[in-house]
Amino acid sequence: MATGLNNLAELFREQGRYAEAEPLYERALAIAERVLGADHSGVTTGLANLALLYRTQGRYAEAEQLFKRAIVIQERALGPDHPALAKMLGNYATLLRSIDRTDEAIELEARAAVIRARQAE
């Protein structure tokens, strides 16, 4: 159910139908949290998707909180060198660049690059 809701929300977001996408993302996230637990790595996709929607809408503070939560969960559940973490760091860095926090974004991008380089070894 959560996956279907998330997929429909993605479609709406891609079409610019943000008001329709948001409740679907929220519902999908709530289901994932209830089924998997709030700190399970499986909820990070929902957190990231909702954060990306918020970023698109200029709701930067809300997006930042979701990205931070997702990063903490991924680090704890998957470890500091997981490729999914590198992707999340990159998404968060993009948010930071859009609100002129370039120095922080550069640090996250460098960290993501190190993770990717380790994976390529």
- The domain spans of the chain are 2-120
CB contact at 8 A, 29 and 44: no
What one-letter code names the amino acid at 30?
A
Taking phi first (over 0 means left), then psi (-120 to 50 degrees means alpha), and beta for anything else, what does residue 100 get?
A: left
Which token pair is 67?
Answer: 């990205």
What pLDDT sits at residue 120?
85
Query: How far apart are the C-alpha atoms of 24 and 29, rounded to whole Å?
Result: 8
CATH number of 2-120: 1.25.40.10
What separation in angstroms does the CA of 57 have from each of 81, 83, 115? 31, 27, 29
- Tell me the longest C-alpha to C-alpha distance in the chain: 43
pTM: 0.93
Query: How far apart are the C-alpha atoms of 90 and 17, rounded to whole Å?
Result: 25
What separation in angstroms does the CA of 93 have from each of 12, 18, 38, 97? 24, 22, 24, 6
Sequential pLDDT tens for the chain (121 residues): 888 999 999 999 999 999 999 999 999 999 999 999 999 999 999 999 999 999 999 999 999 999 999 999 999 999 999 999 999 999 999 999 999 999 999 999 999 999 999 988 7
What pLDDT sits at residue 27?
96
